[in-house]
Amino acid sequence: MKKPLSILLLCTLILAPLSLAQSATLSHPQVLASTSVDVPVWSVGNNWTYDINNITVDVEEENFTVHVHAAIEDFTMEVVGETTDYYLVHVKPTAITGDYAIYANLGDGPINVTGLLKKIVLEGTLQVAKADLGIKRINLTIDGKLTITVHEQPYFPPLSHTFTFSTVIDSSFIFGEPYRIIVFPLEVGNNWGIPANTVTLSGTIDSPWFKLVNFINQKVRQWHLIGPLANLLQTDEASLQNISDILDDILPTVDIAHVMNTYLSGNTINTSEIPPILICNDTEVVTVPAGTYTAYNITTLVGGGMIYYAPDAGYLIRMKGRFADALPFINGINMELASTNYQP
């Protein structure tokens, strides 16, 4: 069975913001009264806006690799509700720009495509645990245009062309246990890892291009044109029939869970336990666009990634460097807090 390239791209798009979390510029350079701080308490209406000028996502599996480089301007999270155990956080609509490359070999030969993320808008909600700010659930909508340039593919005569099409991706990630990267109470000298977990993916993908492809495929099947079309395209009839059967099964609206369970390895992903590679080194005064804060400096023992958590901001104020060994798929990130209305 063939793995739809749209699903490979989808995984990178919706996993990229997995670990990210407007007001006047504030200054909070005071010395902390204690070297230990507990989990912050958020209130409905609290918001944080980040400038993210780099996200590098790398996915490497046995039969395919995906690389994405993107930027997100004005990534804003706002607490819009709460229950006994969770905060409901709205990710306001924001623009994503960037590029990607996908290489796959599904047994028939190499598939090599590159493209651009154009006019992409991201919006969604997060379910965040009050106990440790771990993420229990992510619902995201990605709406915009993608360009795809085909460099290699084994199914049809040589094809080198750039396609642009609109798409809407509604996706949901549910973690078995809230996924957290900071352990509270946070104290200088503490080090920790990340427990094993599971994440279940579901949702849909819609595109006018999918509807067109489905219409053409239905006519080809209805008029028994697989054989003549295979001769015209100089390809194997059995392979073309297989592609037609897959398209008939998954189009016009792609059900992500169905595709992953039927054609991939399933829509539940198991993440391995990560040993203690995060350490809280010290507190220091850090200046970001939102102001100057006294922050806890958390670094990864592998790769040199740095996370700055400020109690007076109630969340992260800076995150930069490489995190491939600590965060799923995220090889590098550079983000800073631009504004917040949080008050401790």
Tens of pLDDT, residues 268-283: 988 888 889 899 999 9
Cα 324 from Cα 27, distance rounded (Å): 32
Which residue in the block uniquely carries the two structure tokens 């291009």? 209
pLDDT value of position 16: 36
Domain boundaries, the chain: 5-335
153/146 Cα distance (integer angstroms) = 19
Asked if the model's pLDDT at residue 168 lies above 90, the reply is yes
Q: Is residue 159 pLDDT above 70, yes or no?
A: no
Task: Name the least confident of 14-28, 144-158, 194-208, 228-242.
Answer: 14-28
Task: Give 58-84 pLDDT, tens digit per residue.
Answer: 877 667 788 889 999 899 999 999 999
Does the pLDDT value for residue 301 go beyond 70?
yes
Both tokens assigned to 334: 């550079």
Q: Report the pLDDT value the prediction gives residue 25, as an integer from 0 to 100.
A: 36
Provide the pLDDT for residue 151.
Answer: 87
pLDDT at position 249 over 70:
yes
Peptide bond into 252 cis (omega under 30): yes
Residue type, 98: G
Burial of 157 (0-12, 13-18, 19+ CB in 10 A): exposed
Amino acid at 337: L
Please tell me the predicted confidence (pLDDT) of residue 160: 63
On the question of pLDDT at 17 being above 70, the answer is no
Predicted model pTM: 0.84
Average confidence (pLDDT) over 274-302:
92
Residue with the larger pLDDT of the pair 60 and 42: 42
Report how far apart, in Å, the C-alpha atoms of 97 and of each of 25, 196, 268, 272 are.
27, 32, 28, 31
Q: Nearest-CA neighbor of 233 among 219, 223, 246, 243?
A: 243
If you average pLDDT over residues 299-327, what whole number do you get? 86
Residue-wise pLDDT tens digits, 136-151: 999 999 999 989 898 8
Burial (0-12, 13-18, 19+ Cβ within 10 Å), 87: buried
Q: How far apart are CA 196 and CA 270, in angstroms?
A: 7
Q: What is the pLDDT of residue 23?
A: 32
**Average pLDDT taken over every residue of the chain:** 85
CA atoms of 156 and 240, how far apart (whole Å) = 9
Tokens of 310: 């400020």
- Least confident among 34-38, 115-119, 216-220: 34-38
pLDDT band at 330 (very low <50, low <70, confident <90, very high): confident
